[in-house]
Amino acid sequence: MTAAGMLVIPLLGAVLTGFAGERRRLVAGLAVLSTLGAFVLSLFLPGARAVDLPWLPGLGVGFSLDPNGAASVLVVVTALVMLPTALIASLKVEEHPGRFVALLLIAQAGLNGIFMARDLILFYVFWEATLIPGLLLLGMFGLEKRRAAVVKYLAYAVTGSFLMLVSILALKVLSGASSFHVTDLMLAAPLLDAATQTWLFVGLAAGMAVKLPIWPLHSWLVDLNDQNHPSGAADVLGTLYKVGGFGFFAWALPLLPAGAERVAPVLLVLGAFTALYGALIATAQTSFKRLLAYGSISHMGLVAVGLFGMHIAGLNGAIYLLAAQMLSTGALFLIAGMLYERRGTFDLGSFGGLAKSAPALAALTLFVIFAFIGVPGLGNFPGEFLSLLGTFQTAPWLAAGATLTVIAAGVLGVNLYQKLFQGPQAAPVRDADSLEAYVLVPFVAGILWLGLAPAPQLQRIEAQSQLVVLQQERASVPALDAYGDEVAAVTDPSSSGERR
């Protein structure tokens, strides 16, 4: 029931804030109440019981949620990020704050669904449904050129995910699996011949690569961040919705090992390139938000490097980085919003020397930037380190190339801090007020938590990483399907190796 609660609480909150409309204090109260409720509940997820209900039994579709494994980590971090984001949105959005928060909360429910779904159709349902709140936030609350950004976002996301849908439907029919449940698919799909697997994998990858995002499918994210509401709250959602990496990790890689074997090397190269490209392009940006967009694309490149190296350490690291970057990137987007409030621009040239008048804000920002560029002891570091470490085992040259990103990111972070807070002071601004400090506290806490105590989270992620590796081994001996029981045991702990 805990798993279902992670859907019900945000949705209920969304309905109530939708009704609250323009009554700002009520909206803020409801926002805090529902995000706090979701966060507290999310702490009880590890070990919670899986939900398994028939939904469309004629087609073998079930309402199956499993809050364990990587899902438990990602859902908690999402809930932690949403807590301050919904609050600041409810207070800072000028018109229709109720609508804004409602859309955020709907998206949170959708994200939780994406992470917890254990039925491929249900996964797709959440995957696609979560697109709409993001689109509406951009279209309703965005800046001047938002319409072009909406069309671009829609076209990229929908083309990709519809191709993914065909692949999903064909996957069951062609493999002869009895349902879309993860256990059935994981047993049946890897037995398909390599050519079929490759095509199906390409179909899935079309949807997932867009939302990873990986070069050359990344440009929607830059426009999205550029045109979103200046508070940065909608950009935080954009950061959370980069779920492509999770899709590969939980579904595409373990389902279609032979396909992955053929396509992953290409994606690995693209990922390494994305990591470097993002970091380098970011240094050339004059807009704070565009800089963050490219910086986060660089992170996603590292996630891809970890994933497509197909080594267990890299897989662990990729998902860990995915979770950790939600905190640092999300916090920086909100800080960008705070600075916009003071100066009315995202142009980095018009900032400078703010540390004198706003020392507390400067200190907090410096901390988050350190996390953003992967300083050891802070959130992103374990993920980045493991991603690269894992891929060094399988593709050392590419990993070495991708490691250069770490240097580029360091330069990027230092430059950013200098441009904002050091040098000649442009004009004094007010320091962080208590609301802003409160908003940034959860991020700081989360960054420290993920940076200092990674082991328990990594352990939960590892169960699923093992599945990817296991399926790879299984694919290499297709005639002798000796791993079936193990796969069943990993995907469906309740049935202990017994098929549903």
Partner 1 sequence: MTFPPALDIHLVQLTPAITLLVTAFATLLFALWQKDSRQTAAIALLGVVTAFGFNLSLFLSSGEPTSSFGLRFLTDTPALAFNFLILVGTALAILVSYDQLRRMDLDHPEYYPLMLLSALGATVMAAAGDLVTLILGLEIMSLAIYVLSAWRTRSRQSEEAGMKYFLLGSFGSAILIYGAALVYGSAGSFVYGDIVATLGAGGALVATLGGALVLAGLAFKAALVPFHQWAPDVYTGAPTTVTTFMSVVIKAAAFAGILRLVATVFPQLQPWLLTAFAVTVAATLVIGNLAALQQRGVKRMLAYSAVAHAGYVGLAVLAAGEQGMQAAVWYLSAYTLMNVGAFAVLSLVVDAGDSGDSLDHFAGLGSRRPWLALAMTFFLLSLGGIPPLAGFAGKVMVFEAAISAGYLWLAVVGILTSVVALVYYFRVIGAMYFRRPEHDLPAFASNATTIAIAITLAGTVALGLLPGWWHDLLGVAAAALP
As measured in angstroms, the least distance from the Cβ of 166 to partner 1 is: 5
Distances in whole angstroms, Cα of residue 462 to Cα of each of 307, 322, 459, 466: 13, 14, 5, 6
Which of 121, 369, 378, 388 touches partner 1 (CB under 8 A)?
Answer: 121
Which of 29, 139, 410, 493 touches partner 1 (CB under 8 A)?
Answer: 139
As measured in angstroms, the least distance from the Cβ of 30 to partner 1 is: 18
Cα 252 to Cα 71: distance, rounded to the nearest angstrom: 16
Is-contact 27 98, C-beta < 8 A?
yes
* 135 touches partner 1 (CB under 8 A): yes
* 57 touches partner 1 (CB under 8 A): yes
Over its C-alpha atoms, the chain yields an Rg (Å, rounded) of: 22
Q: Give ∠ CA 158-163-164 in degrees, rounded to 5.
A: 95
Nearer to partner 1, 100 or 294 (CB): 100
Cα 128 to Cα 122: distance, rounded to the nearest angstrom: 10
Can you tell me which residue has the tokens 């999300």?
A: 330
* 167-226 residues near partner 1, rule: CB under 8 A: 169-170, 172-173
* 154 touches partner 1 (CB under 8 A): yes
With CB under 8 A as the rule, give the number of residues binding partner 1: 35
Which of 92, 146, 211, 299 touches partner 1 (CB under 8 A)?
Answer: 146
The one-character DSSP state at 179 is S
Residue 98 CB-density burial (10 A; 0-12 exposed, 13-18 middle, 19+ buried): buried
Which of 3, 101, 117, 125 touches partner 1 (CB under 8 A)?
Answer: 125
Cα 204 to Cα 161: distance, rounded to the nearest angstrom: 8
* 351-410 residues near partner 1, rule: CB under 8 A: none
Distances in whole angstroms, Cα of residue 103 to Cα of each of 21, 136, 269, 457, 471: 12, 8, 36, 29, 38
* 118 touches partner 1 (CB under 8 A): no
Which of 15, 33, 129, 269 touches partner 1 (CB under 8 A)?
Answer: 129
* 12 touches partner 1 (CB under 8 A): no
Which of 25, 147, 356, 430 touches partner 1 (CB under 8 A)?
Answer: 147
Closest C-alpha among 255, 272, 267 to residue 464: 255
The one-character DSSP state at 119 is B
Cα 327 to Cα 411: distance, rounded to the nearest angstrom: 20
Residue span binding partner 1 (CB under 8 A) among the ranges 32-40, 50-58, 242-250, 294-302 = 50-58
Question: CB atoms < 10 A from the CB of 347, how many?
Answer: 11
Closest C-alpha among 131, 92, 89, 97 to residue 114: 131
* 15 touches partner 1 (CB under 8 A): no
As measured in angstroms, the least distance from the Cβ of 160 to partner 1 is: 9
As measured in angstroms, the least distance from the Cβ of 55 to partner 1 is: 6
Nearer to partner 1, 140 or 389 (CB): 140
As measured in angstroms, the least distance from the Cβ of 79 to partner 1 is: 22
Is-contact 328 371, C-beta < 8 A?
yes
Residue span binding partner 1 (CB under 8 A) among the ranges 51-59, 211-219, 328-336, 451-459 = 51-59
Which of 44, 55, 417, 449 touches partner 1 (CB under 8 A)?
Answer: 55
Residue span binding partner 1 (CB under 8 A) among the ranges 156-164, 382-390, 423-431, 446-454 = 156-164
Is-contact 67 35, C-beta < 8 A?
no
Is-contact 373 293, C-beta < 8 A?
no
Residue span binding partner 1 (CB under 8 A) among the ranges 138-146, 253-261, 298-306, 467-475 = 138-146
Contact footprint for partner 1 (CB under 8 A): 54-59, 61, 121, 124-126, 128-129, 131-132, 135-136, 139-140, 146-147, 150-151, 154-155, 158-159, 162-163, 165-166, 169-170, 172-173
